[in-house]
Amino acid sequence: MTASGESRIDEVTAPPVLQADDITVRFGGITALADVSLSVPPTTIVGLVGPNGAGKSTMFAALSGLLRPNRGRIYLCGRDVTDSTPQARARLGLARTFQQVELFLGLTVQEHLILAHRVRYARKRLWADLIDWRAWRPPDPAEVEHVETLLDMLGLTDVARQPVAGLPLGVARRVEMGRALARSPSVLLLDEPFSGLDARETEQVLAGLVRTVNEHDVSLLLVEHDVAVVLGVSTTVYVLDFGMLIATGPPEHIRTNAAVRTAYLGVDTAPAGTSGRADPSVH
């Protein structure tokens, strides 16, 4: 993806790094997802939006392996992973963050990223660290270079050696993203990464995400309630409502889609001359 948000790869010919075909998920008599398909091309940002209860979290759970769909298939880097565990998907290059930040309060920012790097590249060394934390092994040059690059990209260099306990929420979210990226994933699922952040923190995280795609050849699938942010950074946006896919396309198409504005953005369809409920974020 370029700085302007355009993909560096021909999205028509490049095979997707993540693909979901006709995903259906039922909970008892409730259909949470009904034949939903989506595709995430290489090195791009794709948005997934919808009102509360639309099925976004259910789709993320299915994609990451936390639940198995009743129908449909999921492909990661060309491999069918529908029946694969979350751990198997992680080894194939899938990473994700969660709405609630979960960090090890006794570790520093840098140590979070080092441990994540060892999960992918030095598992034996990781187990030694976990078995006897007093025997924590200092990072080698390759780890240092990789981690320092991520710290700089996410604006975390100044707090690298601070424990994460007590860090502001915006900083903690960037630590969580850095931890996910330290494993060099092919695709990263971001679940509400801007929740609770102020405007400055949101801009910092957005800049880091664009740099991530540009410099690390990773694709991002972004679930976020702030539609304006998603439309501003995504190449393609998928819109869910009541478990159904109601629109797909580039941001300019989503902005003007009547079904999207009615279902998600709260636009009133009252006759001309009466007051409406248009959300200013879509203008």
Distance between CA atoms of 167 and 105, rounded to whole angstroms? Answer: 10
Residue 89: band (very low, low, confident or very high) from pLDDT cuts 50, 70, 90 = very high
pLDDT at position 48 is: 96
Average pLDDT over residues 126-132: 55
Locate the domains of the chain by residue range.
Answer: 18-104+183-282
* pLDDT at 4 > cutoff 70: no
CATH of region 18-104+183-282: 3.40.50.300
pLDDT digits (tens, 9 = 90+) for 186-240: 999 999 988 888 888 888 888 888 888 888 889 999 998 888 899 999 999 999 9
Distance between CA atoms of 260 and 253, rounded to whole angstroms? Answer: 10
Contacts (Cβ under 8 Å, ≥6 apart) of 214: 1, 2, 3, 8, 43
pLDDT digits (tens, 9 = 90+) for 235-249: 999 999 999 999 999
For the chain, what is the mean pLDDT? 83
Average pLDDT over residues 155-180: 91
Provide the CB-side half-sphere exposure for 205 (13 A, CA): 26
| Single pTM value for the model | 0.82
3-state secondary structure the chain: CCCCCCCCCCCCCCCCCEEEEEEEEEECCEEEEEEEEEEECCCCEEEEECCCCCCHHHHHHHHHCCCCCCEEEEEECCEECCCCCHHHHHHHCEEECCCCCCCCCCCEHHHHHHHHHHHHHCHHHHHHHHHCHHHCCCCCHHHHHHHHHHHHHCCCHHHCCCECCCCCHHHHHHHHHHHHHCCCCCEEEEECCCCCCCHHHHHHHHHHHHHHHHHHCCEEEEECCCHHHHHHHCCEEEEEECCEEEEEECHHHHHCCHHHHHHCCCCCCCCCCCCCCCCHHHC
Place of tokens 């007051």: 275
Of residues 281 and 60, more confidence is placed in: 60
Residue 251: band (very low, low, confident or very high) from pLDDT cuts 50, 70, 90 = very high
Task: With beta carbons less than 8 A apart as the criterion, state whether 139 and 174 touch.
Answer: no
Of residues 141 and 278, more confidence is placed in: 141
